[in-house]
Chain A
Amino acid sequence: MQIEYKNVTKEYEPGFKVLDDVSFEIGAGEFVFLVGPSGAGKSTLVRLLIREEIPNSGEILFDEESVLEYPKEKLSELRRRIGVVFQDFKLLESRNVFDNVAIALEVVDAPVQEIQNVVPNVLSMVGLTEKMFKYPRQLSGGEKQRVSIARALAHEPDVLIADEATGMIDPDSSRDVVKVLEKINSLGTTIIMATHDENIVNSLKKRVIRLEDGILISDKKGGKYRG
């Protein structure tokens, strides 16, 4: 599985480029940081990959298939192959941890038995077995984010994207979340982490793709970031 952005440009308003002719590739199993200040275009890159947005020009390939040419009815399939974790967690307050993760399987009409097997597994992977029946309001920010990661993992995605996933949690919890992401990466899942947290980026020494004002500034393996 490979992701390829080819000369991607995106304008939300005419004349205001959020991404300007951006090109790069991400190979299977990589751990990549997308860094840059707020408004650099990191989240837009994520939204383009899951086709929540359409670029004005350029092409995005996922596993050699153009994301733009995916028929609408196959989009749900694409989104199951790309798990996304958001800064605001996007958990359902009315559902407990188990049910919040189970929703990912319910939407594909997974059998009850499969849900009963998979959900505890992914919760164990993110270290939340004990909190399975708690509600989001009873969890810390870091725990909420780990629930969100568990939900993204339920489909065993090829890629997991963490979009500013540590933006709303304290440094200790952030480290926990990053450890979980490293663990998932070690099992073969590609991780793309959009962040502007230099401590996290610099501590992991992974590939760093830096954006500023929608332009790709640098792309270095074992890179550093100074915000």
Chain B
Amino acid sequence: MVKGWKILLEDIKKEKLLSVANLVIMTITFLVLGLLIYIVAFSQTTLRTLEEEVKVTVYFKDEFTEDKIKALVDELQKNPRVRDIKYVSKQQAYEIFKEENKNDPVILDALSPDILPASLYVRTKNIFEVPKVAADIEKIDGVEGVKFFKEAVERFTQLSTIVYIVGFVLAAMFILVSYSVIIATLRTAINSKGSEFEVMKLVGASDRYVVSPLLKMGLFFGLVASVFASLILALSTYLILQAGLFTTGVQFGFVQEIKIPLWIFTAIVSGTLVSSGLILGYFGSSAAIKKYLKY
């Protein structure tokens, strides 16, 4: 076992340039894969943050009393599409208005507390639900009107869908590309020793003897390259947090409620890269070596 690793280190020393070139290619591949996952997560998180700001504003007729509004709030809170509701009474609306226009006494004099309607601000769990929730509320007796930025919501909805789908398709494609790059890289390293394997087989080496150092080489390159890539990602995480970005975490995938702290997200991505490095290293070298075992 130890001897196999010793042979591997000797081989790396003998072929310094090729080994460094292979490590660089594999590190860049893993790094690009990691950065792509980051970009998808960051763009999804940014979109989600913006989505959360989108709300339906509901205005009530004067005869719709505060009791009725509170009953409606209770009912809406049971609606699975609704994230949260904020009630603003006529008095609170007047106070807000006063605060916003405190430098304009003419307007303030012209307005009495009764004029402004009570309202609800309803946020949905998902931006796609905004038009549906608005339509449902509008049908209720006593609702004077509902308001939401319809066009903005529609554009946002389209953009979100594109980011989710394109992000995942890109990540999936890049995983395939990474696999091909890593196989090709390992094959280059193995082919450079092809004549040695041929001689080993001819003088009676068992398949295990020939395969073992190559599998170790695949594991070694996969591990070292993915660890390097993970370290660079960890440094990026540190810089992002230092810049005050994504301090509350990131959202990834289609599960919307969970926000993952950025360091934990980095650890998950690094863990995924290192496991992929080991798996790709092992299977990549197994695939590349097959042709030397045919005789």
- By size class, the interface of chain A is 20 to 34
- Cβ-closest chain B residue relative to A151: B203
**In the complex, A139 has a CB within 8 A of chain B:** no
**In the complex, B66 has a CB within 8 A of chain A:** no
The digit string for A54-91, where 1 denotes a CB below 8 A from any CB of B, is: 00000000000000000011001101100010000011
**In the complex, A52 has a CB within 8 A of chain B:** yes
User: What residues on A are CB-neighbors of B207 within 8 Å?
Assistant: 72-73, 76
The digit string for A137-161, where 1 denotes a CB below 8 A from any CB of B, is: 0000000000000011011000000
**Which B residues from 185 to 220 make CB contacts under 8 A with A?**
195-196, 198-207, 209
The digit string for A9-53, where 1 denotes a CB below 8 A from any CB of B, is: 000000000000000000000000000000000000000001110
**In the complex, B14 has a CB within 8 A of chain A:** yes
Q: Tell me if B204 and A80 are in contact (CB < 8 A).
A: yes
Alpha-carbon separation in the docked complex, A52 to B204 (Å): 12
Alpha-carbon separation in the docked complex, A108 to B201 (Å): 11
Q: Tell me if A103 and B199 are in contact (CB < 8 A).
A: yes
Alpha-carbon separation in the docked complex, A107 to B196 (Å): 11
**In the complex, B254 has a CB within 8 A of chain A:** no
**In the complex, A94 has a CB within 8 A of chain B:** yes
Known contacts A52-B295, A107-B209: does B195 contact A92 (CB below 8 Å)? yes
Alpha-carbon separation in the docked complex, A165 to B199 (Å): 16
Q: Tell me if B195 and A107 are in contact (CB < 8 A).
A: no
Alpha-carbon separation in the docked complex, A152 to B199 (Å): 11
Q: Tell me if B196 and A79 are in contact (CB < 8 A).
A: no
User: What residues on B are CB-neighbors of A92 within 8 Å?
Assistant: 195-196, 199
Q: Tell me if A155 and B199 are in contact (CB < 8 A).
A: no
Nearest first, the 3 closest Cβ-Cβ pairs linking A and B are: A107-B205, A80-B204, A104-B203
**Which A residues from 96 to 114 make CB contacts under 8 A with B?**
103-104, 107-109
User: What residues on B are CB-neighbors of A94 within 8 Å?
Assistant: 14
**26 chain-A/chain-B pairs, Cβ below 8 angstroms:** A50-B202, A52-B295, A73-B207, A76-B201, A76-B207, A77-B204, A79-B201, A79-B203, A79-B204, A84-B202, A90-B195, A91-B199, A92-B195, A92-B196, A92-B199, A103-B199, A103-B203, A104-B203, A104-B204, A107-B203, A107-B204, A109-B3, A109-B209, A154-B203, A155-B203, A155-B204
- B98 CB to nearest A CB, Å: 87
**Which B residues from 156 to 202 make CB contacts under 8 A with A?**
195-196, 198-202
User: What residues on B are CB-neighbors of A91 within 8 Å?
Assistant: 199
User: What residues on A are CB-neighbors of B196 within 8 Å?
Assistant: 92
Q: Tell me if B206 and A73 are in contact (CB < 8 A).
A: yes
B204 in complex: contacting residue of A51, A76, A90, CB < 8 Å: A76
Q: Tell me if A90 and B200 are in contact (CB < 8 A).
A: no
- Cβ-closest chain A residue relative to B203: A104
Known contacts A73-B206, A79-B204, A80-B204: does B199 contact A90 (CB below 8 Å)? yes
Q: Tell me if B200 and A103 are in contact (CB < 8 A).
A: yes
Q: Tell me if B14 and A79 are in contact (CB < 8 A).
A: no
User: What residues on A are CB-neighbors of B200 within 8 Å?
Assistant: 103, 107
Alpha-carbon separation in the docked complex, A72 to B203 (Å): 15
- Cβ-closest chain B residue relative to A154: B203
User: What residues on B are CB-neighbors of A108 within 8 Å?
Assistant: 204-205, 209
User: What residues on B are CB-neighbors of A77 within 8 Å?
Assistant: 204
Alpha-carbon separation in the docked complex, A91 to B199 (Å): 8
**Which B residues from 9 to 23 make CB contacts under 8 A with A?**
14
Q: Tell me if B198 and A90 are in contact (CB < 8 A).
A: yes
Alpha-carbon separation in the docked complex, A152 to B201 (Å): 12
- B200 CB to nearest A CB, Å: 5
- A129 CB to nearest B CB, Å: 21
- B197 CB to nearest A CB, Å: 10
**Which B residues from 42 to 75 make CB contacts under 8 A with A?**
none
- B33 CB to nearest A CB, Å: 35
User: What residues on B are CB-neighbors of A72 within 8 Å?
Assistant: 207
Q: Tell me if A76 and B14 are in contact (CB < 8 A).
A: no
Alpha-carbon separation in the docked complex, A164 to B108 (Å): 110
- A163 CB to nearest B CB, Å: 11
User: What residues on B are CB-neighbors of A151 within 8 Å?
Assistant: 203
B206 in complex: contacting residue of A76, A152, A154, CB < 8 Å: A76
- Cβ-closest chain B residue relative to A77: B204
Of the listed residues A90, A104, A107, A154, the one surrounded by the most CB atoms of chain B closer than 10 A to its CB is A107
